Amino acid sequence: MVRPVKNIVIVGGGTAGWLTAGVIAAKHRARQSTGFTVTLVESPTTPIIGVGEGTWPTLRTTLAKIGVSETDFFRECDAAFKQGAKFARWTTGEPDDAYYHPLVLPQSFGQINLAPHWLAGDASGSFCDAVCPQGRLCDEGLGPKTITAPPYQGAANYAYHLDAGKFAPFLQRHCCDKLGVRHVLADVRGVALAENGDIRAVVTEQAGEIEGDLFVDCTGFRSLLLGETLGVKFRDCGDILFCDTALAVQIPYERPDSPIATHTISTAQSAGWIWDIGLPSRRGTGHVYSSRHISDDEAERELRAYLGPAGKDLTVRKIAIRSGHRETFWKRNCVAVGLAAGFLEPLEASAIVLIELSAKLIAEQMPTCREVMDIVASRFNATTHYRWGRIIDFLKLHYVLSQRTDTAFWRDNRDPATIPERLSDLLLLWRHQPPWLHEEFDRADEVFPSASYQYVLYGMGFRTEVEAAALADEAALAQRALRENALQSERLLSSLPKHRDLIRKIVEHGLQPV
């Protein structure tokens, strides 16, 4: 007897639970008339972690697909634009040490790799400024679009900064009001298994048993379903990524009209780094560090020194970080999303994008019946394992390339024993040929494109040996691309509004629907 998969039960709310609910419900909305349901069970007493404020450009597509108004999103989530990340003091630790990882591809990226041409030239100025306009837009505090641009479209690629504490309730209202998601406020007190080992139901205090065909574990670090109930172990990667603690604090602006940074700022410290994210009403900041290399008190002193007098009396919240992920992500009829699947330090804002990618994969490959679920799970696990591995590689890259020797933290990060083998091989390869559209980036489920590696490598002073004579055939095309980038940069610098002014106009007047 074929057992159809029609009742999806998501356990846990927050960004992970509500994004997943929205993506699945929107994708399968037409099936609701035939009995397909999405139920989200959420504790009325458990608070969300609520510090994930950085996103990727993918969120624009996700919000558009589930029917969210970009204007409403800005009005209700204290949102701002994000055009990339600025890394300060990561390479040498000196005051003038900084580079950008922007969100746009280098000029003419599909036609030519500008990296070797930049390297073969005088390489004056930054690689980012030579090949794209976005670093300069960030320097000038400009938004990525004008108020007349349609929703989710811009002159430059962009993501968002947002208030995670407001984002989850915003998604909840949209999912329940517009997408038919059933919301159950109840504390889960147990999990009932079927004879075959599947999860049959979650047992709640207020709503009794809630049965389902597929369960999505969004219960945070606890991983109640996949970890505790089905026994999937956690794979720690603290031997690669050392940061295991964060101190978070919210700081008000000096003035209501203070500029809002249009990028995440990541400033390296003695044993970690400080994030700084600008929202319209405040800045979200925090210190991510390795407790093996610095005490909590010392880490807090570094954070307060960064904040200056304005942060003197602010309350700091301590959050434990366990870098790593579950050994498998989908077992039997349970799949984990968000912190229940794992967590890595928020250096490149990978937490929310992993939620999006997982939710999209579940929705697109939703098994029609239990008989095919294990096949779908196997494919999901292969893709998701690959994605986690590549994110770990990319985060470690920032530490490996550092030239800092002032503390044990930076020296230990370059110990070959702490560097994944794949990353070591790629670094050797890139000494002789720059990353581009080669075999190392040939998978459709690649998380970071080769352009991202270029921005970090050449932003941090990495050198690839290039033979100028071998570039002669492309020299004219390269020069045209570099000139076009310079012209485009000037056009955008003269036409785009200041970031705060743009957000104010969106909130007051709204973006015009297409």
Q: So which residues are the catalytic ones?
A: 82
Q: How far apart are the first and last CA of the chain?
A: 48
Report the C-alpha gap between 76 and 44 in whole angstroms. 21
Residue type at 122 in one-letter notation: D
Q: How far apart, in whole angstroms, are the C-alpha atoms of residue 349 and residue 513?
A: 29
Distances 254 to 142, 181, 249, 280, 307 between C-alpha atoms, Å: 20, 41, 16, 12, 12
Residues in a beta bridge with 288: 246, 273
Name the nearest CA neighbour of 440 among 402, 376, 482, 397. Answer: 397
Which strand ranges, in their side-by-side order, compose the sheet holding 330-331?
182-185, 37-42, 7-11, 214-217, 334-336, 330-331
Locate tokens 């005051």: which residue? 95
Cβ burial 84-123 (10 Å sphere, 16+ → b, else e): bbbbbbbbbbeeebbbbbbbbbbbbbeebbbbbbbbbeee
| Six-digit token string for 100 | 């950008």
- CA-based max dimension of the chain: 74
**Contact 483/54 with Cβ under 8 angstroms?**
no
Distance from C-alpha of 137 to C-alpha of 129, rounded to nearest angstrom = 10
Q: Hey, what amino acid is at 237?
A: C
